[in-house]
Amino acid sequence: MNILITGSAGFVGSHLVERFLQDGHSVIGVDNYISGQRQNTALFLTHPRFQFLEADVSQGIPYTGETLDWVLHFASPASPPHYQEFPVETLMVGAQGTQHGLELALKHSAKFFLASTSEVYGDPHVHPQPESYWGHVNPNGLRSCYDEAKRYAEAITMAYHRAKGVDTRIIRIFNTYGPRMRADDGRVITNFVHQALRGEPLTIYGDGQQTRSFQYVDDLIEGIMRLMGVTYHEPVNLGNPTEFTMLELAAVIGKVMEHSIELEYKPLPSDDPKQRQPDIGLATNILDWKPQVSLQEGLQNLVSSIDYSLASS
Ligand code: NAD
Ligand code: UDP
């Protein structure tokens, strides 16, 4: 198949490129590097079935090929420090970027796949979160540029499906980690791992009792492959349901790194969700999918992938 991936130089996008190339497909990656890394493109540039287009997909997707089977829209800053640094760009890539992807899919009779997020549930009042929960989002707070962009992206994807017949998929990704995350992306796992590698205290925001459920990237990629193989248009949660407080996460990092960990407490950012855990009953039913990688195992893989001489520079 010919598969176009927006956000190909990002963390998740680069794992998708790798998997599709391994499976024998041709991949067109598109990225403007607002939060991605050139080294993630360099990994595939010499591959005969990989082509890269440097472009801001909010302005348009400059694909001139004749055929296309899938458009996967993964472009968007995803870490809170990144999307809060670029709130307008984040809204645009969720809005215009999604529409450009849908139009491209429509033009080529290709299928369209949207990367949405657990952030559509906001600071949830229903726990764990099933897809049927409509969420509790502050529409104009610091996180709104991301949350509302993704809510709009889901809405326009369903509109193109219902009104124009585009064959669409939507996933809601819960906190995912693994090799190729940017060392400075500011998300909790990258912060903790790099702080621990540098022998610095781990920064706990608030009292550390807030929870998240962490999914290893290989499990996410497998879930995406399976959803591409079935016909299902409503949103599907993909995440690991094992829930940790940030204090528990710090303890697991200490265990994986085999040294004692000091903590430094910092203020809790505004609108930080207090708890998050996916209900994955739907994915299990329709995809026969469940995460396979434990937090400890995934963290071990992540730590061993980091070149510490680069990480500390
Ligand atoms: P990332 O920041 O590593 O990757 C996103 C990529 O999109 C980057 O390479 C960035 O440069 C590119 N991009 C952003 N705006 C663009 C634009 N206008 N034009 C072209 N390229 C653009 O983030 P990630 O963790 O890989 O996330 C990938 C997708 O998955 C995002 O849509 C994100 O919202 C979603 N998601 C990720 C997580 C997670 O935990 N990693 C959780 C929920 C949802
Ligand atoms: N967090 C933390 N220390 C850090 C970075 C983040 O305690 O150095 C907390 C953050 O306040 C949030 C959780 O960890 O409660 C997850 O944050 P992340 O930015 O990874 O993703 P989010 O799920 O909030 O989008």
Percentage above 70 pLDDT, the chain: 98
* Residue pLDDT, tens place only, 143-167: 999 999 999 999 999 999 999 999 9
Element (H, E) at 212: strand 211-213
* Residue pLDDT, tens place only, 40-77: 999 999 999 999 999 999 999 999 999 999 999 999 99
pLDDT at residue 310, rounded to an integer = 52
Domains, the chain, ordered by start = 2-177+215-241+277-292 (3.40.50.720)
Position 312 confidence tier, pLDDT thresholds 50, 70, 90 = very low
Q: What is the pTM of this model?
A: 0.98
CA distances from 92 to 187, 273, 277 (A): 22, 23, 28
* Residue pLDDT, tens place only, 177-215: 999 999 999 999 999 999 999 999 999 999 999 999 999
Mean pLDDT of 125-146: 97
Nearest CA to ligand 2 atom 17: 188
Q: Cα separation of 105 and 147, whole Å?
A: 24
| 152 tagged catalytic | no
Q: How many CB atoms lie within 10 A of CB 51?
A: 17
Q: Given 63, 83, 121, 146, which residue is catalytic?
A: 146
Cβ pair 20, 14 in contact under 8 A: no
Ligand 1 centroid distance, CA of 114 (Å): 11
pLDDT at residue 313, rounded to an integer = 40
Ligand 1 centroid distance, CA of 93 (Å): 10
What is the bridge-based pairing of β-strands 50-54 and 2-6? Answer: unpaired
Q: In terms of DSSP H, where are the helices of 79-187?
A: 80-85, 87-92, 98-108, 144-164
Position 308 confidence tier, pLDDT thresholds 50, 70, 90 = low
Q: Cα separation of 108 and 134, whole Å?
A: 32
Ligand nearest to the CA of 194: 2
Mean pLDDT of 293-311: 86
Ligand 2 pocket test, candidate residues 35, 90, 117, 188, most atoms within 8 A of CB: 188
Ligand 2 centroid distance, CA of 11 (Å): 17
Nearest CA to ligand 1 atom 41: 176
pLDDT at residue 309, rounded to an integer = 53
Q: Cα separation of 281 and 133, whole Å?
A: 14
Cβ pair 288, 232 in contact under 8 A: no
ipTM exceeding 0.85? yes
The type of residue at 94 is G
